[in-house]
Structure 1
Amino acid sequence: MKYRTKGTCSSAIDIELDNGIIKSVHFTGGCNGNLQGISRLVEGMPAKEAISRLKGIKCGFKPTSCPDQLAVALESIVGTAN
């Protein structure tokens, strides 16, 4: 699934889930090293756990962040899977 981010330096997130487990995450744009790190950390993690850990993280004065946008994207997937 491709999710278009809002309010962040990254413009999109490609996410692959399998039975609620995150298989892969790839950010387009943003802080490459940090986003590769986040992607690797959440791979193999249940989507619901990633959501609970990442939701609400802010970047500076912005009301969101790339990790928060990943949580929003995962919510949109998990919500459609139920």
Structure 2
Amino acid sequence: METLQLDLAPLSPLNPTEGQAGDVDAYKPELVCAKMIHYKVEDHKLTKLHFTGGCEGNLTAISKLLEGMDIDDVVDKLSGITCGKKDTSCADQLCNALKGHMDD
């Protein structure tokens, strides 16, 4: 039987997001597959977004679609979305994180 050797590299917490970890906010979602949401709000717009864990393809697509969008619009569109039998979703958890910035 042949032995397979893999070279593994450590994951970066902000893999596709430029900048230092200190220039984004972090939110730990509850009851979903994503383990962390890193994001930045500038001038009431979502300028950086990266999910750690969860459905990689879907969350990468959501991140690209939402970057540059006004956070009020994000919350209006995605708040309350559920995933399977869960009462929440990764998108809904992002809205929970963004609600803290809506009065800024």
| Shorter-chain TM-score above 0.5 | yes
Number of residue equivalences: 80
Q: Which residue of 1 aligns with 2:6?
A: none
**Counterparts of 1:28 and 1:77, CA distance in 2:** 21
- C-alpha separation between the residues in 1 aligned to 2:88 and 2:101? 19
Q: Name the CA distance, whole Å, in 2 between partners of 1:71 and 1:21.
A: 13
The alpha-carbon deviation at position 61 of structure 1 amounts to 0.6
When Rg is computed on C-alpha atoms for both structures, the one with the higher figure is 2
Name the SS of the counterpart of 1:45 in structure 2: coil
TM-score, structure 1 normalization: 0.93
1:1-82 mapped onto 2 (5 Å cutoff): 1-79=25-103, 81=104
Gaps of 5+ in 2: 1-24
Where does structure 1 lack aligned partners over 5 or more consecutive residues?
A: none
Measured on the aligned residues, the alpha-carbon RMSD in Å equals 0.8
What stretches of structure 1 move > 4 A for 4+ residues in a row? none
* Structure whose residues are more often helix by fraction: 1
Indicate the structure whose relative CO is greater, using CA pairs within 8 Å and at least 6 residues apart: 1
TM-score (norm 2): 0.74
